[in-house]
A and B are shown apart, each in its own frame.
Chain A
Amino acid sequence: MSDRGDKGPKEGADAPSLEERATHSGSKIGDRRVRIIRPAASEFRRRGGHYVATPRVDAAQGRLGRVYARARHILFGARLTSEEEAGERLSKKTGLAIMASDNISSSAYATEEAMRVLAFAGGAALALTMPIAIAVCVVLAVVVLSESRVIRAYPNGGGSYIVAKDNHGVLPGLVAASALLIDYVLTVAVSSAAGVAAISSFVPAVHDHRVLWSLGLIALLTVGNLRGIREAGVIFAAPTYVYVLSLLGLIGYGLFRVASGDMPVAVLPRDAFEPEGIEPLTALLVLRAFASGSVGLTGSEAIANGVPNFKPPESRNAVITLVWMGTIFATLFLGLTYLATRIGIAPDQFEFETVNSMLTRSLVGDGTFFYYLVQISTAIILLLAANTGFSGFPRLASVLADDRFMPRQFAFRGERLAFSFGIIALALMSAAVLAAFHGSVTELVPLYTIGVFVAFTLSQSGLVRRWWRLRNPGWRLSMAINTFGAIVTGTVLVVVAFTKFLYGAWMVLLVMPILVGLLFAINRHYRTVHDALLLDRPDEPIPVLKPPVVLIPVARLDRATLQAVAFARSISPSVRAVHIASTAESAEEFARRWRRWTSEVPLDVIESPYRSLLQPLLKYIERIDERDDRPITVVLAEFVPRNWWEWILHSQTALRLKLSLLFRPNTIVIDVPYHTEDPGHGVTPRKPEDSSQ
């Protein structure tokens, strides 16, 4: 019936294909039909001129594989196709929870951070907390306004790195990128440590194992983020909103009591600072207080970096979320600061209780439901603030990887469309930092915030150059906003770097240039590789190579060797076997057996008196290579055991040889595996004379 092959042979016509077309004659003339035979149709679907792998291709094989796949499914969720990426985008509400939790959570400690510095100058100096809070909010307003310009100018995300690179050049771009990468790592470390500190206020036993608890939290966040960005948002949305609503309720209630003249009695700290102070109230002290309060500005760049994570229209949704974030933070920060200074709350010298806790107790009383609601939601949001790092770092790393400044693995999306490699790398680095600093918030905080202000300043000044260069309609206003933004954030950067330098900021300032150098080095490598691999022209002809010189290292004469020799002879007429023997007798014996087996493939036997195998073989290949300009092809006969555990019973010489030859130029290594149940592809086994060795 079938009369396939009715055409003349074509170039590549016998190349294997997933599809076969068989022509069948019909019962009448002209009723011929072509059967399209697709044995792998359930695994590879045809679409638009190419094949699409179906879920069956990725289906787990074997019982162990299925158990592993099931465990992955439970832990990380079902796999998502690339087309489902749009469904993984964030709405404004989820985006606020996932990208702004860091910034919003800062309101839990920003007031206290400023107060703790001012308290060195005595109780009266605490009155300056409110002006400092207003100044921080002014800076935040400038940052929000400027970042909204970044989002509009660069809707594809990348934030400060892209802006700085586009407008200042590669080096400033990488400075911004490395500053942000460091800050994201620190965000995760600080937030987990702060979260554990908040828990240990309720459960003192946690304090002794705070590093372990913090690492556990990082692991939890890692799993949450590996499940995909949208799902992470769903997990983390509720606590963020509970925190915001409970704090707004507290502030509303406090303002009502103050306005109605029902002034609450301030809860006093267990160990108050000296009322007269231990330092004079200098401009430097006020600046330090401002720098500490500026910790509340961290996290505001995450939205500009992650614009593509939003649902369309991405830019608009990102700007609205940014404005929501700024408004919520400013309301909470100003409200809490106003109430704390108005009621007369002072910070505790040894951090036994937070300012917010004392304020809440003053307003709603100790041990009430609302007190616990505020405290628990504060603890949770501090933990979740780390998530901003998890949304920012992988996205920025992927942009850097696309630009070939970071390893390509950072640009790959995992089964859940999350940048899995970036998430895991961030988790490992932040865990290392956390462990190195013993999980202490106090030790980690001075390292914080510098990176974000470096990035802000570079992106703002970058946009100034952009507006000047493009001069689009409205460029003067945009330029004025970003100039002001650059000056303000630059000033804050100088203040923060100056006042925190000795407290640990120097480490960040040291690591940043090292990281920039590393990014440059990675890029140089990729450029070199790219240049080496680039085709000279798109229609580059396929070069015609001479058949290679084929060397077959043989340990014994057996079926695996037979198959390897057969394969070697199929690719080249110049085949030579080489055997390493440990004694003269075994060398002679092997040569004799080889001669008896075949005279078609010449054999070199090398006696190695010191029983080394690889070195004589490598040296032999080297010498052959020197004498012949054809590429050397080493064909390895490798026995593959039926079960994985049998693998350890074999010496794995082929594997070691493969590794040794991996980096050798002008050398092709071909592995010819031999399975015990494998009769060989196209090889008719001829019983060797002796396979007992």
Chain B
Amino acid sequence: MQLKRILVPLAGTSVDVEVLRVAIALGKPAKAEIVAIHVIEVRWNLPLDAVLEPESERGEGVLDDAVKVAEQAGAHIETELVQAREAAAAIIDTARDRKSDLIVLGMPFRKRLGRVYVGKTVQGVYVGAHCAVLAYRQEETR
């Protein structure tokens, strides 16, 4: 498959750097356009366009770090900061709008009740995305 556009949702977790490198490695041969996205989930008791200073700052920080990682890997990425009620829906719709071929998701290694835990965003994107989805799970030793 010729990858032209890759969307990389970043949540600001320890897996971000690795998942971005994976996306760059996948996209570089075909010179794919890579977009890193951070979704701020807005609670239902607030307006969707509410100015959420700490969350916006954190999001900008996550995306800035992503740009630095990409620069170190010799790649150029675009970034997008989004506010939505649910991250999964926002990621799916952004991927649709941007005509992404692939969404590369990161999963920090977490266990709940003795089983690897898959967050609702990953599950939601896996189920709902129109395009290919690649979930990168962090190594257990981390």
Chain A residues with CB under 8 Å of chain B are: 1, 21, 23-24, 26-28, 30-36, 38, 41-42, 45-49
Contacts and interface: CB of A to CB of B under 8 A. Distances in A.
B66 to A, nearest CB: 12
Given A36-B56, A41-B60, A46-B57, A31 B86 contact: yes
Interface string B74-108: 00000111111110011011101100000000000
A422 to B, nearest CB: 35
Given A46-B56, A48-B53, A23 B82 contact: no
Main DSSP-derived SS at the B contact region: helix
28 contacts: A21-B83, A26-B90, A27-B89, A27-B96, A31-B85, A31-B86, A31-B93, A32-B48, A33-B39, A33-B82, A33-B83, A34-B84, A35-B80, A36-B56, A36-B59, A36-B81, A36-B82, A36-B83, A38-B81, A41-B60, A41-B64, A41-B79, A42-B64, A42-B67, A45-B60, A45-B64, A46-B60, A48-B53
A35 B93 contact: no
Nearest to A7: B49
Contacts of A42: 64, 67
Nearest to B63: A41
Contacts of A33: 39, 48, 82-84, 89-90, 93-94
Contacts of A47: 57
Given A27-B96, A31-B85, 13 more contacts: A23-B48, A32-B48, A33-B39, A33-B83, A34-B83, A36-B59, A36-B81, A38-B60, A41-B63, A41-B64, A41-B79, A45-B57, A45-B64
A627 B83 CA distance: 57
Contacts of A41: 60, 63-64, 79
Among B60, B86, B92, max chain A CB count under 10 A is at B60
Contacts of B92: 27
- What's the interface size class on B, roughly? 20 to 34
B84 A32 contact: yes
A34 B60 contact: no
A34 B82 contact: yes
B33 to A, nearest CB: 17
Interface string B38-79: 010000000011000100110110011001000000000001
A516 B94 CA distance: 68
Contact of A23 (B49, B57, B59, B93): B49
A406 to B, nearest CB: 38
B98 to A, nearest CB: 11
A29 to B, nearest CB: 11
Nearest to A4: B49
B35 to A, nearest CB: 12
A52 to B, nearest CB: 10
A48 B59 CA distance: 13
Contacts of A24: 93, 97
A28 B89 contact: yes
A31 B81 contact: no
Nearest to A41: B60
B78 to A, nearest CB: 11
A433 B34 CA distance: 64
A9 to B, nearest CB: 15
B120 to A, nearest CB: 15
Contact of A31 (B53, B79, B90): B90
A34 B48 contact: yes
Nearest to A6: B49
A377 B40 CA distance: 63
Contacts of B96: 27
Contacts of B94: 33
A42 B76 CA distance: 14
Contacts of A23: 48-49
A31 B83 CA distance: 11
A21 B49 contact: yes
A337 B48 CA distance: 81
Contacts of A28: 89
